[in-house]
Structure 1
């Protein structure tokens, strides 16, 4: 008796990679790529529309990164997430696992191996690339508070602290204090450098 195919929503903002990956996955008899999109917003919409078994998400795509997209999808839809990334920063894996992501692999993963990972995740198990896992174990612990991370995350989307304060419903002075504290803890000289450092470490 034939079982239903593993339905897949594929999200990657690099069109050539997305198209090639979709074509390769469609060669698998037990897979059906039901949607291809290039951003997190459309990935959420496609997940709502198709209710896929697995969503394969690129880590770095607009308007938010793949981890935030995973949070949004898993909060609303019963599915499984495989994250693929070109740059596996240690803190990102921790964020992804906390979000409920079940698979985490580099983009250099051969299509045959990715197919195995998708089957593993579809079956309810977890797979993390060993090199990414080892890197995460040796990564730097985040010295920032959750509120400091929220502020730095918001500053990457706004030009001024006033805009950040408005988004977070905080006083401008309070935001300034959080930014100053983050700058001091990270040993940098500006909020832009603090946000960049936090991003590079995968904390935001």
Structure 2
């Protein structure tokens, strides 16, 4: 039996995924959580073979939680299952130790097969997303540029971003200028939108 933990903040989606997987003769759902910071404690308690994790979750985001889970329990395989099929998320998921990355519009058969493959250590990636990742390439933004763009994406001014990140306004402007160039956009707000849509933030 393949033991699965499901982490998704939407109760309806979480329940549907669990019901669907429990219909499979060789898969059993042993834990369900709604918050990213509940993933590691639940995994320690239930000892799953595969953790199916959403990207955007309250508490700790799914990709950060995946990294923590991978470091703490490397024997538990990670399958990211999300609505947000963005190339940057795929790259971050793989860097965090995920074995698979699929989007939620996969069929029940594809989902169950992905769980089986990931449990065996076989890498599974949504084909359309893999192609898009090749087109956009890896995340070109530095950690500081991501922090600055996140602050702008949250609606902060340059001054507020500087205060939040303990940087001078000039340094914030320099990071923004660099990020605008890397995203091929014309302004900081557009750069933040493009970076978010590509999963680079």
Is 1:188 aligned with 2:186?
yes
Q: 1:152 to 1:49 in 2, by over 3 A?
A: farther
Q: Does 1:161 align with 2:158?
A: no
Question: Could you list the runs of 5+ residues in structure 2 that have no partner in the other structure?
Answer: none
Give the whole-Å Cα distance in 2 for the aligned partners of 1:158 and 1:69: 25
Q: 1:139 aligns to what?
A: 136
Q: Give 2:41's match in structure 1, choosing from 12, 21, 45.
A: 45
Deviation at 1:27, TM superposition (A): 1.7
| Pair 1:68-2:64 in alignment | yes
How far does residue 117 in structure 1 lie from its aligned partner after superposition? 1.0
Root mean square deviation, CA, Å = 2.3
The size of the alignment, in residue pairs, is: 196
- In the aligned structure 1, how far is the partner of 2:37 from the partner of 2:163? 23
Q: Structure 1 pair 75/152, CA: closer, same or farther in 2 (3 Å)?
A: farther
CA shift, 1:139, in A, is: 2.1
The Cα of 1:9 is off from its aligned counterpart by: 0.9
Are the aligned partners of 2:36 and 2:57 in contact in 1 as well (CA < 8 Å)? yes
Mapped to 1, the partners of 2:70 and 2:151 lie a distance apart of 22
Partner of 1:16: 12
What TM-score comes out, normalization by structure 2 length? 0.84
User: 1:168-189: per-residue Cα shift (whole Å, max 9, x none)?
Assistant: xx55653443234323443232
Answer yes or no: is the 8 Å Cα contact 2:144–2:175 preserved in 1.
yes
Q: SS of the residue aligned with 1:138?
A: helix
Q: TM-score, normalised by structure 1?
A: 0.83
> Which region of structure 1 is more displaced relative to structure 2, 178-187 or 28-37?
178-187
